[in-house]
Amino acid sequence: MDIQASDKLSDSARRRDKLENAILAAATRLFAECGFEGTSIAAVAERTGISKQNLLYYFPTKNSLYKRVLDDVLDDWLERMAHLADPGAEPADVLRAYVAAKLRFSREQPWASRVYAMEVIGGAKFYGDQIRERVVPLLRRDIDVFEGWMADGRIARVDATHLLFALWAMTQSYADFAAQMTLVLGRPELTGDDFEDAERLIGDMVVRAVATAA
């Protein structure tokens, strides 16, 4: 009885999750392409294949949908980046792994990257508090690791904060500025080779930036 009941419950919960995720996938893409105000919940519903009113059953307001999209973007990103800055590991390896992980996110979740970027460019008026609470501490911790390496003489002395800004910017741009890059490259979209070229160049640049004179 208990088992059956819980099966029923988890069945409907699973169903609900599946539809929720479909809505969130559609919303992420549309928010990235059109911005918050440029995206109507009707458009999200249509792309999900449900009615607008049904969508409003799952997410009672447009704001709650947007918030959830940003939360999921951040959860996914934080999970991928959490363990990277290991102070004990070889600095060059950590830096290359960092670049690779962030580029991979740009490649696999371009819409997520772009939603986040749009929010930040607009001044993070909606999501600034969450960025302060969840993103900034992580970036500060990474900067501390870099500075620890400098103090120990394991890498050259550079401005650790701006190094991280540079690393972030270079990798992020393969999602955010993909539309311009494809025009320059004359391709319909970025390829795996493009991301390999990017990883090599950015990795080399970052590692050389902190290479000791020796």
Partner DNA sequence: GTCTATAATCGGATAGAC
Partner DNA sequence: GTCTATCCGATTATAGAC
Task: Report what 32 binds from DNA, a second copy, none; CB cut-off 5-8 Å by kind.
Answer: a second copy
Q: Could you give the CA distance from residue 147 to residue 50 in angstroms, rounded to a whole number?
A: 51
Q: Which is nearer to DNA, 11 or 144 (CB)?
A: 11
Of these, 7, 10, 42, 89, which contacts DNA (CB under 7 A)? Answer: 42
Of these, 6, 10, 61, 180, which contacts DNA (CB under 7 A)? Answer: 61
**Is residue 65 within 8 Å of residue 23, measured between CB atoms?**
yes
Q: Could you give the CA distance from residue 6 to residue 179 in angstroms, rounded to a whole number?
A: 47
Q: Where are the alpha helices (DSSP H) in 39-159?
A: 41-48, 52-58, 62-81, 91-108, 110-121, 128-130, 136-151
Contacts of residue 77, Cβ cutoff 8 Å, sequence gap at least 6: 105, 109, 112, 116
Residue 197 interacting with a second copy (CB under 8 A): yes
Residue 187 interacting with a second copy (CB under 8 A): no
Residue 14 interacting with DNA (CB under 7 A): no
**Is residue 146 within 8 Å of residue 160, measured between CB atoms?**
yes
Task: Report what 19 binds from DNA, a second copy, none; CB cut-off 5-8 Å by kind.
Answer: DNA
| Residue 186 burial (CB count, 10 A) | 6
Residue 48 interacting with DNA (CB under 7 A): no
In the region spanning residues 33 to 72, those forming contacts with a second copy, defined by CB under 8 A, are 33-38
Per-residue string for binding with a second copy, 66-95, x by CB under 8 A?
Answer: ------------------------------
Of these, 112, 135, 145, 155, which contacts a second copy (CB under 8 A)? Answer: 135
Q: Could you give the CA distance from residue 125 to residue 144 in angstroms, rounded to a whole number?
A: 27
Residue 60 interacting with DNA (CB under 7 A): yes
**Is residue 102 within 8 Å of residue 205, measured between CB atoms?**
no
Q: Which residues bind DNA (CB under 7 A)?
A: 12, 15-16, 19, 39-43, 50-54, 56-58, 60-63
